[in-house]
Copies of this chain bind each other. A is one copy, B any other.
Amino acid sequence: MTDAGDEPPAETDAEWPVDLAGVTETVVTTRGPNELWNAAALGVFAGADEANAATATTWGNTRTRRNFHREGEGYVQFVDDPITFVNAALTIDEHDDPVLEHAAAWTRVAVERIDSGTENGTEWEQWRLEPLETTIKRETVPTISRGFGAVIEATVATSRLGVAGYDDAELRDRLAFFESVVERAGSPREQAALERVREHAEW
């Protein structure tokens, strides 16, 4: 070992595939004790303690939380397929491979718990995500789809049904509105995704 500086640094300086700002909804895969990769929705918050790191919070004793603790890493995936998002958010969704078919890009991250607490009886843990490795598989012209946004919001609302601190009647009003948006503006795939949300929410 020398300090002559002629070797590459041990740390990578991998970056995210996009400029993160605010919260970006992603799907994270983490390896479980059964060796399968569990896919779950994860909101990634830009701008933690340094330029490249981001943060995310796990709520309750989820597979993602347990796998983060055991493995110390995961694959953050940027997806634009509504069914992939709904499956990850609302079902137990396990895969042989860490990278999902509908990921336009993915970043392998090292995770470290930086905070924890309890809100309305649910234990949360906040994680620092440090990008280790990024691959961009596909880029597209960005489009605005109210139907896609409505599937995401309906998924979020459904995941909160029956959870302390949320009002079920208000959530179901919101679901009815987002359903009407998807009916009017949704693509066939967005409509199929909403159908899965509806089965899950039993509404």
Contacts and interface: CB of A to CB of B under 8 A. Distances in A.
Describe A's contact surface by its main secondary structure: mixed
Contact of A143 (B18, B144, B147): B18
Chain A contact-residue range equals 35 or more
B139 A141 contact: yes
Nearest to A156: B146
A187 interface: yes
A57 to B, nearest CB: 12
B18 A78 contact: no
A144 B190 contact: no
A141 B23 contact: no
Nearest to A21: B187
A25 B99 CA distance: 30
Contact of A23 (B138, B142, B156, B185): B185
A22 interface: yes
A60 interface: no
Contact of A141 (B21, B104, B145, B188): B104
Copies in the complex: 2
Contacts of A143: 18, 24-25, 78
A174 interface: yes
A69 interface: no
B18 A187 contact: no
A62 interface: no
Contacts of A104: 141-142
Interface string A167-203: 0000000100100000011111110000000000000
Given A78-B144, A104-B141, A140-B142, 9 more contacts: A21-B188, A22-B188, A23-B145, A23-B147, A24-B145, A25-B146, A78-B142, A104-B142, A149-B152
17 contacts: A18-B140, A18-B141, A21-B190, A22-B145, A22-B186, A22-B190, A23-B145, A23-B186, A25-B144, A25-B145, A46-B187, A78-B141, A80-B142, A104-B142, A140-B140, A144-B152, A149-B152
